[in-house]
Amino acid sequence: MAMERFKKSAELYKEACRFLPAGVSSNLRAFPIFDPHPIFLQRAKGSHVWDVDGNEMIDLLGAFGAAILGHLHPRVMDAVRKQLEEATMLGTPTELELKTAKLFCELVPYADQVRFGMTGTESTMHAIRIARAFTGKNKFIKFEGHYHGTHDYVSVAVGSTAGSEIAPYKVPNTPGVPEETLKTVVVLPWNNLEVLEKTIKRQRQDMAAILMEPIMCNGGLVFPEKEYLEGVRELCTENDIILIFDEVVTGFRIALGGASEYFGVKPDLGTFAKCMSGGVPCAAIAGKREIMSTIKPGGTMHAGTYNANLISLAGAHATMTELKHQGKAGYERFHGLGKKLIGGLKEAADKANQRVFLPGFTGWFLMYFTEKTEFKNFRDVNAGIDFAKFSKFAWEMMRRGVYVHPDALERINISFAHTEEDVNKIVAAASEAFKTL
C-alpha cells in the first residue's frame, strides 16, 4: 500500500506503467528497486529537491552524481539561458566547442584531444572501437563488477557473478547480448595484478585494451590496492595495450583533474559524463593525440547529430569553469563536508547498535549494513552486505526529508551546494532511521 506521504507519486507510477515499460525510462528508477514505487521528483534547487506531493528533501542522489555543483547553479543556468537565445543546435563546428575542448584539455592531465558526445554509454563504446582501430587487435579486458554503460560489449559481469574468482564466467547482465559479441571480451577479477599479468602474457597478441573504472564505483566503491593502477599501466605499456579509464563517475568529482590527478597514473584514453556538465547531457572521450587523431573521415568513425550540442557545451564549459574557479580550496571544503557526513552517520549507527561500513570517497560514498570492514572486489561486496536492510533505511530517510536511492550500490552523492546545516539534518534523520531498523 502506498505511503500517504507519497500518494501522488504512487498514482502517477500506476498510470506511467501503462505507457512506459516498467513505468520509467531507466531501469534503476523502477519497481522493485523502489518498493512499492518510485518517488516522482518535480523540481530542485541547490542541495534540495521537491516531489510531486510537495515534500522537500535534501538530495543525496544528485542526479546519480551529475549535479556536482548542486541543482540549477547560477553560472550554469546563466550560460544555458544565454545559449538558448542564440541557438540550441546547429550541427556544425562552433567556437563554443573549441573553447570547451581547450578548457577540458587544460584540466584533464592526459587529454591532448577530446571529442564530445551525450552519454557515458556511447563514450565507452567508442573508446573500445578507437582502441581496436589503433592497435589492430580485437579483444579487451573488463573487470567483474565494473559498469561501463549498457551497450553489448560491456553488458557482462555486472550485478551477478559465476565461475571461480580468478576465472569469472562471462555472465550477461541482460537478455539480448549475442554470444558472438562476448567472444572478444575477457572478464577478470578486480585488484588481482597476478591474474591480469598471466592473462596478458597468454593473449597479448589479441588484446587491444583494458577498460576499467579507476575506482570500482558501480560495483561497491572499491579502491585500487596499493600500486595496482601503476602495475596495470606498466603492463599496458609493455604489451602495446590501450589503457582506458572510465571516468564517468570519478571525472571532476574525485579531483579537478579526475582519477589521473588523484592517483598520479595516466591512461591512454578516458571517458567522461555526469559531473562535467552540471546537469545538462554531455559526455566526452579524451586522450593521447596519437590515438585520438585517428578519429577522422576515412579513419576511425565517431559521429552523432547531437555531438557537441550547444546547450550541452554551454553547461559543460560553465561547470568546468566554476570547478576551476573553486580550485583546491573548493574541493577541500567539498571533501571535508563529506568526511563530516560519513563520521556523523557512523556515530549515529554506532549509537543505534547498527553495524555499518562506509566505503568510498568523501564526495561520494556508500553505506553497507555488514559486519565486514574490508572489501577487495565485487564478490566481496555482493555476498557481504544486507541489501534489504539498506532499502528499508533509505525509505526511512525519505520519510524524514532526505532523498536516498534504495539500492545499496547506488552512491550517496553530495555536491558543492550542500552545507553543514544539511549534514546536521541528514545525521539527525539517520539517527531516527537507524532506530526503526
SS3 83: helix
CA 206 – CA 136 distance, rounded (Å) = 9
φ and ψ of 423, to 5 deg: -60, -45
DSSP element (H, E) containing 14: helix 7-19
Q: Is residue 258 within 8 Å of residue 252, measured between CB atoms? A: yes
Is residue 36 reached through a cis peptide bond, with omega within 30 degrees of 0 on the bond before it?
yes
Q: What angle do CA 330, 68, 248 make, to 5 degrees?
A: 120
- By CB atoms closer than 10 A (0-12, 13-18, 19+), residue 223 is middle
For residue 309, give the nearest of 80, 29, 63 by alpha carbon.
80
CA 252 – CA 257 distance, rounded (Å) = 6
Handedness of CA 357, 340, 425, 63 (dihedral sign): negative
CA 48 – CA 141 distance, rounded (Å) = 40
CA 246 – CA 223 distance, rounded (Å) = 14
- The widest CA-to-CA distance across the chain, in whole angstroms, is 64
Provide the H-helix boundaries in 242-386: 258-263, 289-292, 310-351, 378-384
Per residue, the 3-state secondary structure of 164-178, as one string, reads CCCCECCCECCCCCC
Which residues form the catalytic set?
A: 147, 246, 274
Nine cell digits for residue 27: 531501469
